[in-house]
Structure 1
Amino acid sequence: MNPLENQQQLDNLKQEKDALLILFGGEHCGVCQTIKPQIFKKFTVKFPDLEMLYIDCEQSQEVCAQHGVFSLPVVQVFFMGQKFIEEVRGFSLLALEQEIEKTYAKMNS
């Protein structure tokens, strides 16, 4: 998962990538640190065109606030620059995978 450096980089990725998953987390968020490698490992294989990005909200508070992220973890998935999926705090990785799969399949057909 690639780290984010600034808001402009995020805006560029949203426009450049057909599919973008953003995990908003924090170094001191145990759940965030647990799901981060799970998401990367599972989704990299299943969705090869899905660009994945990690934003540390402890380091990039302004970016997180601009995206309405005030609790952790949060996953947002964008297709063609539009947000299609948002999961906040307690969510199932299986349900997230199924939601991505629905839209991802349509995009690649």
Structure 2
Amino acid sequence: MECNLASSNMAGYDFEIINALLIWFSGPDCRICHDLKPKIATLIAESFPRITLQEVNCSLSHETAAQYQVFIIPTLLIFFDGAEFIRKSRNCRFNGLMQHIILNDQFMGIM
């Protein structure tokens, strides 16, 4: 999950090919970020392998964080077909996150 987005918008993603994207906004001094990152990466890799993972280091990419209106870390954004579907900040409950993704899958067929 070590990949920084450019400060451009979603134009870099072809949602005909990548229809599910998770962006993880974090920082190098954020303890919660470091604790949750591997858990989220494992959850997505094992349960939702079609979701593309990207990480934004907010200390290096202030513009990108501001563009996505992320003002607190950690923040997790999930996009389906280019539209924001889930936004979670601080502590993330994995059961709730999985339920949101599964519910969306029933409509979108992404998994």
Amino acid at match of 2:34: Q
Residue 13 of structure 1: CA displacement? 2.3
In the TM superposition, residue 95 of structure 1 has moved relative to its aligned partner by 1.0
Aligned-pair Cα RMSD in Å: 1.9
Please tell me whether residue 39 in structure 1 is matched to residue 40 in structure 2. Answer: yes
Matched positions, count:
109
In structure 1, give the amino acid aligned to 2:8.
Q
| CA drift at 1:94 | 1.9
1:103 maps to 2:96: no
Runs of at least 4 residues off by over 2 Å: 7-11, 13-16
TM-score of the pair, normalised by structure 2: 0.87
Gaps of 5+ in 1: none
Do 2:4 and 2:56's aligned partners in 1 also have CA atoms closer than 8 Å?
Answer: yes
Match of 1:12 in 2: 12
Higher helix share: 1
* Deviating more after overlay: 3-12 vs 44-53: 3-12
**Aligned 8 A contact 2:9 2:67 in 1:** no
Secondary structure at the residue paired with 1:68?
Answer: coil
For residues 26-84 of structure 1, the C-alpha deviation after alignment (integer angstroms, 9 at most, x for no partner) is: 11110011111111111111111110111110111110011111111111100000001
- Percent identity (aligned): 29
CA contact (8 A) 2:32 2:91 kept: no
- Contact in 2 for aligned 1:14/1:20 (Cα 8 Å): no
The alpha carbon displacement at 1:7 in A equals 2.5
Q: Is 1:81 paired with 2:61?
A: no
Tell me the distance in 1 between the aligned counterparts of 2:2 and 2:106.
Answer: 24
Scaled by the length of structure 1, the TM-score of the pair is: 0.88
Structure 2: 5+ residue stretches without partners: none
